Structure 1
Amino acid sequence: MRRTVRTGAARRRQGRILTGAGLVLLPWLGYLAGTLPPAEAAAWVTLDALEAVCLLTAGTRLLRADARYRAPAAAAAVLLLADACIDMATAAPGTELATATAMAVGAELPLAGLCALLAARSAKASFAAN
């Protein structure tokens, strides 16, 4: 049974952030598929596609005030953290490592933190606070 609750401005903003991040990943998937060797592309496109699905699901559920946003938010947090760790571990020194660091600090880790925060809060308390 779907439980609907009232949402406030903060939850709408968080929903927009997650949905926007998921949408930004869609053209990125095409870029990865077109520029990486096939074996690497398959792995990275799969990981980033899973991230996009989780972000879009959590974000749209927040926007609809659907209390079932927590599981996809938790999955997105884990996937984003793994993505940042793998990027940093596999990057070559120099420009590649600087790019991986910038993506981790500027996008992946903050999004993972937001998703983890959303997943950890109870849906009832989360929506009631707004």
Structure 2
Amino acid sequence: MGFSSRTFLVAPDDTLWRLSTSKFDRMLRDPASHSLPTFARQRARMASVVVELVASEPMRVMRTTYSVLAFDAEGRLDPSRFEEQQFALVESVVAPVIASSAEENNQPVVDATARFIAQGGRWTPSPALARAIDEAALEQRPCGRL
């Protein structure tokens, strides 16, 4: 038994494109050399899926997260924006714990900046699209590769 991470970009018409982890990593580290012209000038939806493997075969989806990637006019990813959104997501998870502690000490907590930044980097698929993403992650539905 093992796990595999699968990444998909979703085109405006809901077409799914599989993006290898190594390519996504290169896009984050060196966007100038690793662009996706197909997504130029777009905010593309991304689904990151963790799949359980048994004998190297995908068995079930364990977790899916949805985020948004911003591409410039040449199709280069904006890594700083993605990082900012990911840090804000983590902060929005940790903030309620901190707020609870602050309330116990009678300290008001009102900064919601991270929540708004994080919201700009998330999306929720329709049930049909979520099913299509799961099927693609489990290799039950064909999809193109980037």
Which has a greater percent of strand? 2
Normalised by the size of structure 2, how large is the TM-score?
Answer: 0.28
Which has a greater percent of helix? 1
